[in-house]
Amino acid sequence: MKYIIYTILTILLIIGLLVFLPISSEDVNTPDLKEETPKIPEIVINDRFSLIQNTSERDGDITHIMIHFMSNVVANPNNPYVIEDNVAILERYGLSIHYIIDRDGIIYKLVPEELVAWHAGNGSLEGFPNMNNRMNNYSIGIELLGIGTEDEMTSFISREHYRRVPAEHIGFTHAQYESLNNLLNDILRRNPTILPNRNHIVGHSEWTAGIRPDPGELFNWKLFDFNK
């Protein structure tokens, strides 16, 4: 009996010592706390269409990105964003573009970036005299399926025609802004020769002043981190 009591007291004493003994931080197995690397959104590209027949070879570095808008509002004001119809417009006029972003934010790639797409036309850009009438050679073109203001669209359709366009077709969608932002970041990451500012990421209207209005007043440049 005394032996049992002695054994119990010995066990309790050992437990008490273990409870109150200081534990070294080296003895504690804690997981390494590493700063997580921000995830780069995955860019999903649809390559269903191609306008490679309307391209040429580049002979210089890519230094600019040009933003456009387009639609089939002339022929179909009630449903102007059918992707096949818009690709057909470019093909019919002998034009091309690297990317089109539809109303749902789907990104279509029609021309590889290493080739020149025919999207800018003749023009000039302040501060870049070497590019006069040669923007295509130095740029990546992106079309957003969209329609501008009534005043901006008068060179394409009458005011009466414009007023028949459903309101939801005017301007741009949140999904388009999100996809465009991801696409721009991806292009900039792969093309360090393009500086991330508004001198190098421009609208078609800045190139063809007074001729083409896109992407227009309804396009919100403030959603992007580009500053002159």
Which tens digits make up the pLDDT trace of 146-182?
999 999 999 999 999 999 999 999 999 999 999 999 9
Residue 32 falls inside a structural domain: no
**Tokens found for residue 28:** 């504690």
**DSSP 8-state symbol, 129:** G
Q: What pLDDT is stored for residue 42 in this prediction?
A: 77
Q: How far apart are CA 3 and CA 110, in angstroms?
A: 89
pLDDT per residue as tens digits for the range 14-59: 444 444 444 444 444 444 544 555 566 678 999 999 999 999 999 9
Residue 11 falls inside a structural domain: no
Residue 179 falls inside a structural domain: yes
Residue 88 falls inside a structural domain: yes
Residue 21 falls inside a structural domain: no
By mean pLDDT, which of 42-46, 100-104, 120-124, 127-131 is the weakest?
A: 42-46
Residue 3 falls inside a structural domain: no
Domain count, the chain: 1
pTM over 0.85: no
Is 109:34 a contact under the CB 8 Å cutoff?
Answer: no
Residue 167 falls inside a structural domain: yes
Range of the domain at 126: 45-223
Q: How far apart are CA 178 and CA 98, in angstroms?
A: 18
Q: What pLDDT is stored for residue 225 in this prediction?
A: 65
Residue 25 falls inside a structural domain: no
**Tokens found for residue 181:** 């932002």
Q: In the predicted model, what is the mean pLDDT of residues 111-135? A: 96
We report the CATH number of the domain holding residue 181 as 3.40.80.10
> What counts of helices (H) and strands (E) characterise the chain?
6, 8
Q: What pLDDT is stored for residue 146 in this prediction?
A: 98
Q: What pLDDT is stored for residue 76 in this prediction?
A: 97
